[in-house]
Every structure is written in C-alpha cells, then in structure tokens.
Amino acid sequence: MRPLLFLLAGLACAAAPGRPAEAVEYPWCANFADGAGANCGFMTYEECMLTARGTGGYCAENVMYTGPAVAARPRHVTRNRRPAKKD
C-alpha cells in the first residue's frame, strides 16, 4: 500500500504546474569585510547595515537595481469630430 501511495504522490507532484523562479533585484548591497562576498538583498539602507555592521563590512547602492517596472500611461487618442448637420 505504501509504494502505491508514494507513486501517486510522485505523479501528483510531477503533474502540478510550476512557475520558474524570477530574479529579484534590491536597491542595497552589504559588502562584507576581507572580500567575503556581497549580499544585494536589502530594501533599505538600515536593513543592510543591520547585517553588515557586525562583520566590519559596509553598505552601498546596488548599481544593477533598476527599480520597479512602471507601466506606460495609455495615450489619449483625440478624434477630429465634425459638427452635426442641422437640417
């Protein structure tokens, strides 16, 4: 009974639709001391400094951050309207 249960569970997981992971950029990077690496996953400078403070590192703006995508405003289409005929 157990092998059948595992088989059904495996098939259910394989059939479930999945979405690919999306990369997320954040505006602040914590650069750790002695070249130990960087972590660019901080929304605010304060949040970044809480992580970097105890390591002797520092925070800098993420040069790869482009900000949220802003949808273009729809253009207003003007039409030349003819005046109505008066009979």
- Write down the pLDDT at residue 15: 61
Kindly tell me if the per-residue pLDDT of 76 is higher than 70.
no
Burial class from Cβ neighbours inside 10 Å (0-12, 13-18, 19+) for residue 51 reads middle
Kindly tell me if the per-residue pLDDT of 2 is higher than 90.
no
Kindly tell me if the per-residue pLDDT of 62 is higher than 90.
yes
Instruction: Give the whole-angstrom CA distance, residue 29 versus residue 52.
Output: 9
CA 65 to each of CA 16, 19, 22: distance values in angstroms, whole numbers, following the listed order = 33, 23, 14
Token pair for 70: 């802003």
- Write down the pLDDT at residue 73: 73
Tens of pLDDT, residues 3-50: 766 666 666 666 667 677 676 789 999 999 888 899 999 999 999 999
Section 59-85 average pLDDT: 78
